[in-house]
Structure 1
Amino acid sequence: MPRRTATLLTSTLLLIGMLCAGVLIHVPYAEMSPGPTVNTLGEHDGEPVLSIDGERTYDSEGHLNMTTVRVTGVDYRMNLLEAVHGWLSDDAAVVPYETLYPEDVSADQVEEQNAEEFSASQESAKVAALEELGFEVGSQTIVAAVVEDAPAQDKLHAGDAIVAVDGTEVTEPGQVAELVTEHEAGEDVVFTIVPAEEAQAALDAGEPLPTDTEDVTITTAEAPEDQRAIVGIQAGLAHSFPFEIDIELADVGGPSAGLMFALGLVDRLTEEDLTGGAFVAGTGTIDEEGTVGPIGGVTMKTIAAREAGAEFFLTPEDNCSVAAQDVPDGLTLVRVGSLDDALAALTDIREGDTGDLPRCEAE
C-alpha cells in the first residue's frame, strides 16, 4: 500500500475513532440555550397570559415579554462531542451538571421547587403591581408548608392562619421562627391558629379572620445544623385581592418572570400604553415591595429576547455586568433595581427619551 494512502487511511480511522469516543464518552455537564419568550400582554396557546375579572382593563399595542432559558433534562447525559459544540457556540452555555441538578436533590424535588417559585413569583407580582397602583391588598400569615416527619406534621397544615405563637400576636412570617427559637429543643410551643378552610374563606371574602381560634401545642425538636428549636414549618403570606387575577402560563418554572408579570398587570390596569408600542422584554424576580432580584441564564435570555424582536431588555442590576459582556446587536440593556425603575424606563422609552435610560455596563 502506498505510504500516502496508508497515511490517509490511518488519519481517517483515527478521526472516526475520535468521533465515536466523543459520542460514547459522557461528561458531567448540561447545556443552557435561549428559550421561548411570551408577551405578558398577549396570549399563549390561545389563552390570555393575564386575566383580570372585576376591574376595567386596557389593551396595549406593545410588548412586555418574559424570557426563559431552555436546559437539558435531568436524565440527559451530554457526550463529549456535544459539550465541545456547546463551548464553541455563541448561543449556548455549557455548565456543570450539578449547577442545574444538585446531587442531593431529586428530579421531582427540582420540578416541585420550580413550580413553587413560579407560583410565589406570581403572587408577589400581583401584590407589587396592585400596591403600585394604589389598590388595597389584604394579607395574613399562614403555614406555607409542613416538613415531612417534623413535630408539626398532622398538627398544623398548609393554609392554616397563624394568629399568635405563645400568646404573642403574629403580624408577619418572620416572627414565627423568632418566637419558636426562644425555646429550647424539647419544650412546648403553642400556636393559635384558624384552620385553613376557614382562613381561606375569610381571605376570599376580604373579611377579618374569625375570632374562634384553636390552640395547638407542639413539642419542639432540635435543628441538626445548629441545635436551635424547630417545629418543622415554613411560614408565608396569603393575600386577598380586590378583584380576580389569573396568570396562565404552562411549562414555565422558577421566579424570574416576576418583574414582567408585574409590569404586564400595571399596563393592563392603566389606560396609557406603558410601552408606547415598543417591543420590550426583560427578566427578574420581584418581591412584594417591588424590589427586582437577579436571575440565572441572563445571557441566554438576552439572545432569546433579541431573536423575538425586542429592542429593549429590562435587566436586574445585579445581572448587568454579566449581560453587558455579550450584548446582541440591536438590543439595549436597561438596568433596573425595582418596579419603579422599570416603570420610569418605560416612560423614557414611550416618550422617546432613550438617551436617558440607565444602561448596563460590563465591568
Structure 2
Amino acid sequence: MSRARVSGVGSYVPENILTNSELEKIVDTSDDWIVERTGISERRIASPDQATSDLAFFAAAEAIGDAGLQASDIDLIIVATETPDHPFPPVACQLQHRLGCRSIAAFDVHLACTGFIAALHVAEKFIKSGSCRHALVVGADTLSRITDYTDRSTCILFSDGAGAFVLSAGDEASPDGIIHSAIHSNGEYFDAAIVPGGGSRHPQPHSEETKYKILMNGNRIFRLAVTLMSQSIKETLEHSGLTLDQVDWVIPHQANQRIIDAVGRTLDVPHEKMISTIRYYGNNSAATVPLAMDHSVKTGKIKRGDMVAMAAFGGGLGWGSALLKY
C-alpha cells in the first residue's frame, strides 16, 4: 500500500484587491472595526472575466510544476468548490481539459470551507489503494459572486482564490506524506451558514429570504468552529500516536483571525506555530488551507520534513483535519 505524499503545492489569487477603506464606502463599517473583529485588511476579488476554473487552473499548473510533473502524469483531479462556473459540468472536468490531461477521473466535492480537506481525504484513499500515482487536489472559490455587499457582517470576510496540492504515491515505509485525515458532518446545523437560493429548493431566487447570497450566524459559527476544529486535530493526532509538541505548524481554515487565535489557545499551540494569511487574503472558502500552505512554503516558513496539522470547518456543517509530513 502506497503512502500519499505532497509532491507539489501551488496557489493563485486575483490581482484585484478590495481594501477595508473601500468597504467603508459601501457599508457602514471601518478599517479599525474590521481588523479588530476579523484580522482582515484586504481581500482578493476576481475580475468580471474570471471564473472559478480560471483561478483553479493557475493554482493547479503551479502545483504540477512544483511536483516536477507534466499534466499528462496526473491520474485524478478533485476540485473542492462552492462556486463552480456552472451548475454543471464540474470544474474538475473543465480543468482536466484546460490542463491537457489524459482522459482521467475528474470530479468536484461540495463541502463548503471543509471541501479541500475532504478532497485530500478522498485523493489519499485513491493513492493508498493503488488506483493512481499522481492526484491533483484543488480548492477554488469565487465567493465574491455570492457575497451580499449590503451585509456588513459577511462582506468584510469573503474573497476569491485557489490553492492546489499534487499527491504522489510513495513508499509506505517513508515518513513523508499524509499520516492521517478525517472528515465529519452534522446536518442539524445546516442553516448556520447557507446560501438559500439558486438550488432546487429555490431555483429562481428573487425574494430577500431566498436570495443567492451567503447568510451566516457568526456567533453560532464561531463557537462551533473553534470547538470542532480543535477536537478534530486532537483526534487525528491521537489516531496517529503523535502529540502537538511533535507538530511544527498548524494551518486552520482562514475564516477569522479570532477563530484562528481561539483554536491556538484551545490547543495550547504557540502563536508563532499558527499559520495565518487571512490579513491579506480573507476567507476564500475551500482555498484557504492550500493557499496558506503554499504561501508558507514560498516564504520559507514551512520546509520539507516539517510536520503540519490542518483543519477546516464550514457549512454543512462539515469539519475535518489532516496530518502530514511535508
Q: TM-score range by the shorter chain?
A: under 0.3
User: Which structure ranks higher in relative contact order (CA pairs < 8 Å, sequence separation ≥ 6)?
Assistant: 2
Structure with greater Cα Rg? 1
More helix by proportion, 1 or 2?
A: 2
| TM-score with structure 1 setting the length | 0.25
TM-score, length basis structure 2? 0.28
